[in-house]
């Protein structure tokens, strides 16, 4: 960034990532109005060091852009790690969840080298939670999944999709012309047959994490 004003930089970063100041405030453990007061009312006068570091990691920028002393951070940050945003929505492995919003509230850190080895672009990734049991045993309720939203040819595999306003995580079977079949790994759930135009594919699931 060209600006040396940490407030202006933070506003630009939040707008570019499309994340609200209230969500960023809660991410650093403050009340929802904290960053709005910092940016527009000058209180506090500067960010606390731990808050500044958390925000810099989330946005993948040098702390100096958010007000750290420049003599402490001479060189640009080498991005050995990428902070992928965790979204407030969840993908239902069950009957379907209507998303209320898609803002980031936190992030999960991944090795930049590992992402490159997987052929993944950081700006096309989001992390969301799984709800429900239709994808058990592959995905369990509460698991975090990494979703690759980059455009590409539709292929079989586990995807996050929108169907009739509901957000679902399902396997996709494209073997039937003109149809997309949404499959659950849990045999208690029946396949869902849809015409291609009825389903919006959000992205492909490329990683999962969760409790043992």
Q: How many structural domains does the chain have?
A: 2
Band (62; pLDDT cuts 50, 70, 90): confident
Q: Is residue 164 over pLDDT 90?
A: no
Q: Which of 50-54, 91-95, 182-186, 187-191 shows the lowest mean pLDDT across its residues?
A: 91-95
11-19 contacts, C-beta under 8 A, 24 or more apart: 11/39, 13/59, 13/61, 17/59, 17/85, 17/104, 18/103, 19/85, 19/103, 19/104
User: Residues 38, 101: one domain?
Assistant: no
Q: How much is the average pLDDT of 54-59?
A: 86
Q: Give the residue among 188, 10, 212 at the shortest CA–CA distance from 95.
A: 188
Band (134; pLDDT cuts 50, 70, 90): very high
- In this prediction, residue 175 carries a pLDDT of 83
- Residue in this structure with the two tokens 């750290």, named with its chain if needed: 68
User: Residues 92, 182: one domain?
Assistant: yes
Full residue range of the structural domain in which residue 46 is found = 6-66
Query: What distance in Å separates the CA atoms of residue 46 and residue 50, rounded to the nearest whole number?
Result: 12
Query: What distance in Å separates the CA atoms of residue 155 and residue 178, rounded to the nearest whole number?
Result: 14
- In this prediction, residue 74 carries a pLDDT of 44
Q: How much is the average pLDDT of 46-73?
A: 81
User: Residues 40, 89: one domain?
Assistant: no
For residue 123, give the CATH number of its domain.
2.10.109.10
């Amino acid at each position: 960034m060209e600006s040396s004003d940490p407030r202006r930089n933070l506003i630009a970063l939040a707008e570019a990532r499309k994340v609200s100041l209230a969500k960023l405030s809660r991410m650093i453990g403050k009340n929802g109005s904290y960053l709005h007061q910092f940016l527009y009312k000058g209180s506090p006068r500067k960010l606390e060091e731990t808050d500044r570091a958390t925000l810099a990691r989330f946005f993948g920028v040098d702390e100096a852009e958010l007000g750290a002393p420049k003599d402490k951070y001479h060189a640009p940050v080498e991005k050995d790690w990428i902070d992928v945003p965790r979204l407030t929505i969840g993908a239902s492995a069950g009957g379907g969840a209507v998303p209320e919003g898609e803002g980031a509230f936190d992030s999960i850190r991944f090795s930049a080298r590992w992402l490159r080895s997987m052929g993944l672009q950081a700006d096309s990734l989001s992390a969301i939670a799984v709800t429900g049991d239709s994808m058990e045993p592959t995905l369990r309720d509460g698991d975090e999944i990494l979703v690759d939203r980059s455009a590409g040819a539709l292929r079989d595999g586990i995807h996050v999709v929108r169907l009739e306003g509901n957000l679902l995580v399902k396997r996709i079977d494209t073997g039937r012309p003109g149809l997309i079949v949404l499959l659950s790994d849990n045999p208690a759930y029946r396949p869902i047959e849809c015409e291609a135009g009825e389903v919006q594919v959000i992205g492909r699931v490329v990683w999962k994490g969760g409790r043992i």
